[in-house]
Amino acid sequence: MDKKIQHVYIIGSKGIPAKYGGFETFVEKLTQYKKSEHIQYHVACMNTGNNLYGEGKKHFQHNQADCFNIDVPNIGPARAIYYDMKALDYAIKLAQSNNDVKPIFYILACRIGPFINYYKKKIQKINGKLYINPDGHEWLRAKWSYPVRRYWKFSERLMVKHSDLMICDSLNIEKYIKTDYKKYNPTTTYIAYGTDVEKSSLTKESLNVKEWFSKNDVKENNYYLVVGRFVPENNYETMIREFMKSNTQKDFVLVTNIEKNKFYTKLKKETGFDKDPRIKFVGTVYDQELLKYIRENAFAYLHGHEVGGTNPSLLEALASTKLNLLLDVSFNREVAEDGATYWKKDNLSKVIYDAELMTASMIENITILAKKRVYEHFNWRKIVMEYEYIFKESVNK
């Protein structure tokens, strides 16, 4: 007898091929490294008119996944909610018309809680399952106004209530879901987020390397690095103030988008960091090989994220950068363990001072621990296998 095909509909990423973003990279790797012939992925892609996936065709193939475009008008912040609902609606109809056996609908993030009961009933009607990735603590992000934060928390609660399985990419998030929503007795599991563990293919002599380092007046192994969204909860203010307090001769290179960023303007005014020649905002780097090379050749990586979940830029830094200085919060300790040095919000300048007193062998020991941690727990191939096991287990129940 032929083994059944498990159809998995993925809702909530902007789409693949991945251009940027954590969930987009996850879906890219999940489909790229797929081993099982008994799983068929269907991936929703957000078509906003100027950002076409698959040359704008309704359905197209990528990494052997069936990808489908969902047209979404630019209606501001509510666009993501509209997209998730429309994509889920389309996916349920598709599964129904294909007569899929026990389809799984895997929703990334908790945006559509107030509407999820309506969809859950439809999913149950076709004997399907609703799986959800709760992401991090979205309701804590400073960029949201108070009413939006309340919506996120309310939405998250309803998503947990109606889910068949919550797949958490952080043990701390899993613990939070089990504790905060104990009354719903949620079924949860932990599967980490991943990262690539291969070294950059570029060298010091590569043209794009030479151009980038020359243009930004940066020298290999002579800079602290941060890569990530320029938002308050990533503690850029603390990192910049503490760096300015330090006596280091090295640069602080910030790979981030500051265009039309009010937080950047406010911080510049309040700290005067633009008068410190060591602090260098270099814009974004979309070339992934170049970005990997920049990570590999930093003296150290600074990480200030404190709002939940396993952060992709932290995993990339642990895989590539020799020394990582992380904000001392449970999420970061869970990921890096002994493969990093930790700082509090009031002592980063001292941690920078101490880092520069470290011997080469001390740094090498930390590097080895970080790489071992990533190779053993956060490599994409291992994570994809864990997902396939959970998806296949569902269809065989």
CB-CB contact of 192 with 383 (8 Å): yes
Q: Quick one: 279 and 141 in the same domain?
A: no
The two tokens of residue 217 are: 């007046």
Q: Average pLDDT of 254-281?
A: 94
pLDDT digits (tens, 9 = 90+) for 307-331: 766 788 999 999 999 999 999 998 8
Q: Quick one: 260 and 316 in the same domain?
A: yes
Q: Quick one: 130 and 117 in the same domain?
A: yes
Position 322 in a domain: yes
Q: Quick one: 13 and 86 in the same domain?
A: yes
Lowest mean pLDDT among 8-12, 120-124, 153-157: 153-157
Position 248 in a domain: yes
pLDDT digits (tens, 9 = 90+) for 12-47: 999 999 877 789 999 999 999 999 999 999 999 999
CB-CB contact of 295 with 323 (8 Å): no
Residue 241 CB partners (closer than 8 Å, separation 6+): 271
Q: Look at residue 2 in the predicted model and tell me its pLDDT.
A: 47
Distance, in Å, from the CA atom of 144 to the CA atom of 102, rounded to the nearest integer, reads 37
Q: Quick one: 225 and 367 in the same domain?
A: yes
Q: What band does 106 get if pLDDT is binned at 50, 70 and 90?
A: very high
CB-CB contact of 12 with 107 (8 Å): yes
153 or 247, which is more confident? 247
Q: Quick one: 154 and 12 in the same domain?
A: yes
Predicted structure pTM score: 0.87
Q: Average pLDDT of 131-155?
A: 74
Which among 263, 276, 275, 289 has a CA at the least distance from the CA of 224?
276
Q: Look at residue 359 in the predicted model and tell me its pLDDT.
A: 97
Q: What are phi and psi of 262, to 5 degrees?
A: -65, -35
Bridge partners of residue 251, in order along the sequence: 223
Q: Look at residue 94 in the predicted model and tell me its pLDDT.
A: 98
The two tokens of residue 360 are: 């080469």
Which among 75, 67, 87 has a CA at the least distance from the CA of 12?
87
HEC readout, 140-197:
HCCCCCHHHHHHHHHHHHHHHHHCCEEEECCHHHHHHHHHHCHHHCCCEEECCCCECC
Which amino acid, one-letter code, is at 221?
A: N
Other Cβ atoms less than 10 A from the Cβ of 79: the count is: 14
Position 202 in a domain: no
Position 74 in a domain: yes
Position 200 in a domain: no
Q: Average pLDDT of 174-187?
A: 95
Q: Quick one: 97 and 211 in the same domain?
A: no
Q: Quick one: 120 and 249 in the same domain?
A: no
Distance, in Å, from the CA atom of 139 to the CA atom of 154, rounded to the nearest integer, reads 9
The two tokens of residue 194 are: 């991943």
Position 361 in a domain: yes
Distance, in Å, from the CA atom of 397 to the CA atom of 384, rounded to the nearest integer, reads 20
Long-range Cβ pairs for the range 140-144 (8 Å, 24+): 140/233, 140/307, 140/308, 141/231, 141/233, 141/307, 142/231, 142/232, 142/233, 143/231, 143/232, 143/233
Q: Average pLDDT of 342-355?
A: 97
Overall number of domains in the chain: 2
CATH number at residue 126: 3.40.50.2000
Q: CA distances (Å), 55 to each of 52, 90, 222, in order?
A: 6, 20, 43
CB-CB contact of 84 with 113 (8 Å): no
Q: Quick one: 80 and 116 in the same domain?
A: yes
Q: Quick one: 330 and 389 in the same domain?
A: no
Q: CA distances (Å), 215 to each of 69, 211, 212, in order?
A: 39, 6, 5
Position 199 in a domain: no
Mean of the per-residue pLDDT values of the chain = 92
Domain of residue 86 covers 6-194+379-395
Q: Quick one: 134 and 240 in the same domain?
A: no
Q: Quick one: 183 and 92 in the same domain?
A: yes
Q: Look at residue 142 in the predicted model and tell me its pLDDT.
A: 59
Longest dimension (CA), the chain: 72
Q: Average pLDDT of 292-321?
A: 92
Token pair 């800079």 in the structure block, residue:
223
